[in-house]
Amino acid sequence: MKKIHVYFPVLALCTTLFIVSCNSSKNLNTNLPIDIADRPANEDSQKYDQAQLDKLKASIESEVSGEKCTDANEWTFSPMGIKSCGGPQQYIAYPKELETSILPRINEYTDKVRIFNEKYNVTSDCTVVPPPTSLKCVHGKIRMITADSN
């Protein structure tokens, strides 16, 4: 009987310590992400900045690509982006009716590319991208015609 009185408090103490140690280990590292995909973005990285540029460019191109072309005279074009040695990266055609909404976004993209090029000392091929000589509707889509187009 005396042995039971000795074992019971020891067993209770061990059980209590076990439960307390399990509960305290659950709360460790609560401010760390569980998965690497949950890690916050490094907003000072070149990869992050490039992704933001790509996202803006895609949204501009997506908005324009959804427009149907029936009359090329209702469309115009603008340079978009800037190469590190100067000159546009490309030209983009858009309906004149969207000019007030889309042109500021194109200019924003170009300014951000300029800042990106300077910040990361980006080099480019420095080839000249010729502006379109005309615009043409082909199967409901706008096509930019250049001097070297067929």
Verdict on whether the full-model pTM lies above 0.75: no
Residue 101 has pLDDT above 90, yes or no: yes
Mind listing the pLDDT tens digit for each residue in 33-60? Answer: 566 666 666 777 999 999 999 999 999 9
- For the chain, the C-alpha Rg in angstroms (whole number) is 31
Instruction: For Cα atoms 20, 24, 28, give the angle at the middle one, nearest 5 degrees.
Output: 170
In the prediction, which pLDDT does 115 show?
A: 96
Residue 25 has pLDDT above 60, yes or no: no
Among the listed residues 105, 109, 120, 121, the one whose alpha carbon sits nearest the alpha carbon of residue 44: 120
User: Reduced to 3 states, what is the DSSP secondary structure of residue 80?
Assistant: strand
Mind listing the pLDDT tens digit for each residue in 10-24? Answer: 777 667 767 766 655
Please, what is the average pLDDT of the chain? Answer: 86
Q: What separation, in Å, do the N-terminal and C-terminal C-alpha atoms of the chain show?
A: 104
In the prediction, which pLDDT does 133 show?
A: 96
